[in-house]
Structure 1
Amino acid sequence: MFSTTSLGLGMSAATLELLGDAFSVIQTSLGDGHGNPSDSEPTRVPMPGLQRTMPSKAVSAAVAENTVLPMFSDVFVVSLPSRADRRADMERIRQAVPLFNFSFFDATPADDRRISVIYDTVKQTRETYTTSSSTAPTFLWPEDASALSHSPLGQAGADRWATAALATETAALSTSTQTASYDTHLDPFPRAEPLTCASQNYVSGPPYSLALPPYQLLTRSKLACWHSHVAVLRAIAERDDGTDKVALILEDDIDVERDVEERLQSLWGELPEQWDMLFLGHCWSNESYHAALPHAHTSNKASSLHPSRAPKCTHAYAVTRAGARRLVEHLRYVPFAYSRALDQAYAWLVLSGRVRSYSVVPSLVVQRKVLSSDIDPGESGVGSHWRESLREGVF
């Protein structure tokens, strides 16, 4: 059992303001939270709301009768400006798949000053919890985290970490940027102990050791990926014209089924009236775990739609505007913000019922893994061992 603690214990008002909103931890047990994968079953948190979203009751009659796929209001490709090789490949996809008429959204590089500030702030947040609790602390979500998904975002929580006003406070946070040197992925001989990825509702990850696998290491590249996706989610959430249009977020290392539009059109009417995320591609999770939604077009059924279980990888997912707001509200919440890889965060939000998500099975968009990875190079330099194939991809 964990002791109940408070972030404010022994902290100055200036530090509290710097870290963002105060938060509390709960007295419960979620397993060890360190040795298990991030999609481990939660102890007292329900699975995603299947009863709330079963299409037999929730699907809009208008949508059910008209399964014509609406054009995405926006299609963004999160991409580093320096990766001209990947951007050139994405142009081939644009020519082959008219549905993916995208705009490039410049990703944040790992050596950006804001990422150093975020890294230091995460480190100090964890140190504060360690000194104020003798056991591994967990956090409790605020009651309004989901209710605020229809409100203007403003600035809150981790949004403040990388603002210009934070620059003058940087020296008081940590000297790690002066006393440690890291590669964008991992320095094999670090002069300061690297951070590790938290899981479930834990504030910190497991103790660092050289034996930890790469997916448990919280590198600056992973923080930069989180920062980039939050930025594009905010852009989607703030383009509010009174309707809840759907936007698509892609990464620049993908291949896609040539008939993706036809397949999505056959599935679109199965979606309930209210949803947050739709994964067109995923990895490291059995996304057919939950039964497929009833399919109106039984002939030539190449794909099916399932309530998501714990999808990882962020290379292709759609969001509603309300969903984008809901994600930002969760991703900037201080004890959760930048605490792990972004796909681990998404998987936990889905598994614990914080967001309403669906997955297309099999994936319509996959990671190619033929060019060098900027986040997790793996042993081959192009990413993890997970591989998927398409029936008829562009490449």
Structure 2
Amino acid sequence: MLFLRQLLSSSSSTSPSSPTRPAWPYLAALGAGLFLLLLISHHPPTTALQTLRNHPAYLSASSHLSSLLPSSPEDPLAYRKYLEATTSPTAQITHHPTLGFSKIYVLSLPNRTDRREEMNKLARALGVEVTFVDAADKGEGFIKWIAERVGESRQLRASVMAKARHTSPSSIGGLAIGTDWLSPTLDLGTPTSPGHIPFPPFPSNSSYTGGNWVTHLEALHSEGRHTTLKPSDPAFNVTKALHDPRERKEVRQLHEGIISTWWGQSRVVKQMLEDGCESALVLEDDVDVEWEVERIWSRIRRRLPKDWGVVMLGHCWSHEILSPWYLHPLLHPSVSPMCLHGWALSTLGARRLQAHLQNPWHAFSTAVDLVLPSLLYHHELPPYSTFSIQPPLIIQRKDGPSDLQKGSGSKWRGVLGDSTVERLKRDEGVWKGEEEVGEVWHEEGGVDPATAFREERHCAD
């Protein structure tokens, strides 16, 4: 009001030396200001929640953003949620039925209906669509046929490598990362000094379609006739015939289960390429997944180089955290990731891997999860093409009998920060608490960094 009196007095009194100024512009401005004050007093400021609800991003995807909305305007996180919804890339606020991949494949035995139902339940909880790819039972006759061919190719390989190294064929072998059976060169290579003498073309056999036993196997598979293959010796003992005397750890020795796993994983890679997928997530049928996997993955995916090939969302027996992170705290260039229970492939990565999986010099000659770390060991993959997420977003459940090993499999056990399986069990009222988690494996000589992190985080919760 003081301002009004001053305004009126100034307009009514003029100096003899100055021209008279009209008062109406000042009065008009004053009236507009009073009108705005009156309007605001009847309409309080729009809350962050109201702004969010009127935002185009919300209007176009309200069903996906509903989980971001607070239950009342007084929610202290309302503004933060508003920023999250209005500044995040669309991929982070809009749910995708395959988590941004072209497809999500689940490798599973057709007769394991129990596991398929568990994976369907997991998929429904995450709101995703999965495509099952049939694995092969280790008792199938063609698995022994493959084992016979592996025995033959191993003998040939050992002979050729021994000649190049000027040593005895009996010195060739071992089933650890970097094994002779997966070496890309004939001469001895190391992580710092790769070999340079390439393998010659694999001997051609006119009785095989395509010239070698792998191309023959693939041709029959494409025709749906691979199960007609039988070993020449019905009593062929896979474990005895393929025993590697240079490998001290018995668990690494080949048997029908390991060969069938190689077959299954190679089926997924082949299926992905035939489906024309730009990318795919490959899961085994006994996994648990981080509840926020989509949001975490969407952030990581934006940091990957355009020519990425493989990303290990789940792995075990590895120390990937020792590699410096790459553009995201959870993303590390791969060092020696083992296990294939949850991994992503681009088209480029699938083609690279398929070339190695179908190489007759070494196909099926080791556990399939040795292939990737051995390729890294021998510098066969371009730099920054293979990555591991650490700590993993996908782990093995270990809640049932393994199809490959006695009991529930190896001692390794991962722990998730927010388990989807645990959420499902709590929802069903069957969660048993800490006894469900079980003992977390500690490596000899120290604790795996990722496992330690998960265990500490789980206990803190």
Q: TM-score interval w.r.t. the shorter chain?
A: 0.5 to 0.7
TM-score computed with the length of structure 1 as normaliser: 0.65
Q: 1:286 to 1:212 in 2, by over 3 A?
A: closer
Deviations 1:80-112 (CA, angstroms, capped at 9, x unpaired): 0111121121122111112x4101111111112
Q: Spell out the pairing of 1:1-395 with structure 2 (5 A cutoff).
A: 68=91, 71-98=100-127, 100-130=128-158, 133=162, 134-135=168-169, 136-137=171-172, 138=180, 140=184, 158-161=214-217, 164=220, 175=233, 177-180=234-237, 193-196=240-243, 205-207=244-246, 212-214=249-251, 216-240=252-276, 245-295=278-328, 304-355=330-381, 356-377=385-406, 381-395=407-421
TM-score computed with the length of structure 2 as normaliser: 0.56
8 A contact 2:287–2:396 mirrored in 1 = yes
8 A contact 1:78–1:250 mirrored in 2 = yes
* Equivalent AA in structure 1 for residue 152 of structure 2: Q
8 A contact 1:221–1:374 mirrored in 2 = yes
Shift of 1:238: 2.4
Deviations 1:223-255 (CA, angstroms, capped at 9, x unpaired): 101111111101111233xxx711110001100
Shift of 1:116: 1.1
Taking only aligned residues, the RMSD between alpha carbons, in angstroms, comes to 3.0
* Equivalent AA in structure 1 for residue 119 of structure 2: M
SS in 2 for 1:77: strand
* Equivalent AA in structure 2 for residue 195 of structure 1: L
Q: 1:332 to 1:363 in 2, by over 3 A?
A: same
Contiguous gaps of at least 5 residues in structure 2: 1-87, 93-98, 163-167, 173-179, 186-196, 200-208, 422-461
Identity %: 30
Deviations 1:321-358 (CA, angstroms, capped at 9, x unpaired): 12111111011111221111011122212333323211
* Equivalent AA in structure 1 for residue 370 of structure 2: Q
8 A contact 1:121–1:161 mirrored in 2 = no
Q: 1:97 to 1:384 in 2, by over 3 A?
A: same
- Structure whose residues are more often helix by fraction: 2
8 A contact 1:194–1:217 mirrored in 2 = no
8 A contact 2:154–2:365 mirrored in 1 = no
Aligned to 1:9: none
Between structure 1 and structure 2, the one with the greater Rg is 2
SS in 2 for 1:68: helix
* Equivalent AA in structure 1 for residue 318 of structure 2: S
Aligned to 1:36: none
CA distance in 2, matches of 1:325, 1:373: 30
CA distance in 2, matches of 1:169, 1:86: 28
Q: 1:169 to 1:366 in 2, by over 3 A?
A: closer
8 A contact 1:281–1:317 mirrored in 2 = yes
* Equivalent AA in structure 1 for residue 343 of structure 2: Y
Shift of 1:168: 9.7
Which runs of 4 or more aligned residues in structure 1 lie more than 3 Å from their structure 2 counterparts after TM superposition?
Answer: 128-133, 135-144, 154-157, 161-171, 205-208
Aligned residues: 285
Contiguous gaps of at least 5 residues in structure 1: 1-64, 145-153, 187-192, 197-204, 296-302
Shift of 1:207: 4.3
Q: 1:155 to 1:354 in 2, by over 3 A?
A: farther
Q: 1:179 to 1:77 in 2, by over 3 A?
A: closer
